[in-house]
């Protein structure tokens, strides 16, 4: 976030562990998918600060933080366009209207909505963030107790140049965007280590292109969705039939209930879903066979609101596939790196 009006400080990220930039070290050359130390050590050499993500109540990508010294549980949700807090559970925060200020934000330009909350101090491990905006929402779901007080959204992840290592459940922060030379060196190391480079685009969501059979199929990258989900109308177009029982090797129970987090009155709750088998899904140069995903009415997630290319969005690429394929999401370069298959 850039400078605010009325002399309030902009975003300051304190990474006391890093005194400078020591240069790249090609420690990923073995291409191993599971050794946390390899990638963590490499990203540390580029002044990235690592923090381990947790699991709580079945939710993945949970982090424990402090907001103005109050302990909070936050869901890192790449499918959520903006950071959200339940103000009832994090009292004491003031809105822009109460502070009588506007924000000059690197992601949204000038923010003037008087109802936007201002997070004075957010501490995640040793990383400190100041003056972060958030929407105030009552986070409740039908017959389900949520295990978090807020969601770290896409705006925060972009603003703070984050990287998420889905396979090892870590998030990395950086105080400034990598220089073009640093970004190019990192990309060369990932490629030399056997990672597959998948470009993504960002509107209000992170969108990844693929093909289901010979049909274009767009996914929203969504760490907040426990399972990958396909819109039911797309199942019909692809002539897929729901499976009758849980298939061997599937992460999707055939009679599971999935939670859809739709904001601003768009259906936060619990919703039934079925499972289907995608015979072929091609992502970049990789083709995956017999991929089981859930099917649901994704209107609850309000997928296409405000996106002029809504016809390109057909499903949610959720936590289980991101973890299975060891995805590394780089929000600075808008790239997903898929680890080599075992």
Strands 127-136 and 84-85: parallel
Domain boundary among 183, 209, 234: 183
Domain end marker among 183, 215, 245? 183
CATH of the domain at 282: 2.40.70.10
Nearest Cα residue to 234 out of 211, 257, 251, 253: 211
Residues 234 and 264 in one domain: yes
Number of separate domains in the chain: 2
Q: Tell me the residue range of the domain where 280 lies.
A: 196-338
- Do 228 and 171 share a domain, yes or no? no
Is 13 among the domain residues? no
Q: Is residue 24 part of a domain?
A: no
CB 131 within 8 A of CB 8: yes
- List per-residue pLDDT tens for the chain, 342 residues long: 333 443 333 343 443 333 333 344 444 644 444 455 589 999 999 999 999 999 887 788 999 999 988 999 999 999 999 899 988 888 889 999 998 988 888 777 888 888 899 999 999 999 999 989 999 888 766 556 778 899 999 999 999 999 999 999 999 999 999 999 999 999 999 999 999 999 999 988 899 999 998 899 999 999 998 889 888 888 889 988 888 665 555 555 544 444 444 433 334 455 566 888 999 999 999 999 999 998 887 764 555 444 444 558 899 999 999 999 999 999 999 999 999 875
What CA–CA distance (Å, rounded) separates 170 from 164?
A: 6
Shared domain for 173 and 254, answered yes or no, is no
- Name beta bridge partners: 215: 212
134 with 200, same domain: the answer is no
């Amino acid at each position: 976030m850039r400078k605010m009006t009325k002399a309030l400080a902009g975003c300051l990220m304190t990474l006391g562990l890093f005194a400078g930039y020591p240069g790249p070290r090609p420690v990923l050359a073995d291409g191993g998918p599971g050794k946390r130390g390899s990638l963590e050590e490499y990203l540390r050499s580029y002044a990235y600060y690592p923090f381990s993500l947790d699991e709580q109540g079945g939710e993945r990508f949970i982090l424990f933080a402090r907001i103005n010294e109050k302990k909070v549980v936050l869901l890192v949700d790449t499918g959520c366009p903006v950071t959200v807090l339940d103000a009832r559970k994090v009292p004491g925060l003031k809105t822009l209207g109460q502070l009588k200020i506007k924000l000059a934000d690197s992601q949204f330009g000038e923010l003037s909505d008087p109802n936007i909350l201002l997070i004075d101090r957010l501490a995640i491990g040793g990383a400190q963030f100041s003056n972060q905006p958030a929407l105030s929402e009552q986070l409740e779901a039908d017959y389900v107790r949520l295990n978090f007080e807020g969601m770290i959204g896409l705006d925060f992840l972009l603003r703070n140049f984050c990287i998420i290592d889905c396979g090892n459940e870590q998030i990395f922060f950086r105080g400034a965007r990598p220089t073009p030379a640093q970004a190019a060196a990192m990309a060369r190391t990932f490629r030399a280590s056997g990672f597959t480079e998948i470009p993504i685009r960002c509107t209000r969501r992170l969108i990844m292109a693929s093909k289901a059979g010979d049909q274009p199929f767009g996914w929203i990258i969504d760490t907040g969705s426990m399972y990958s989900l396909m819109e039911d109308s797309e199942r019909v177009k692809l002539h897929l039939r729901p499976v009758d029982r849980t298939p061997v090797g599937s992460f999707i129970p055939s009679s599971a209930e999935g939670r859809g987090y739709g904001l601003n009155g768009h259906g936060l709750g619990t919703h039934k879903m079925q499972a289907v088998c995608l015979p072929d899904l091609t992502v970049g140069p990789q083709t995956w066979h017999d991929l089981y995903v859930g099917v649901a009415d994704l209107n609850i997630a309000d997928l296409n609101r405000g996106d002029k290319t809504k016809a390109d969005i057909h499903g949610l690429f959720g936590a289980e596939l991101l973890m299975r394929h060891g995805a590394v999401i780089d929000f600075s370069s808008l790239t997903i790196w898929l680890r080599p298959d075992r």
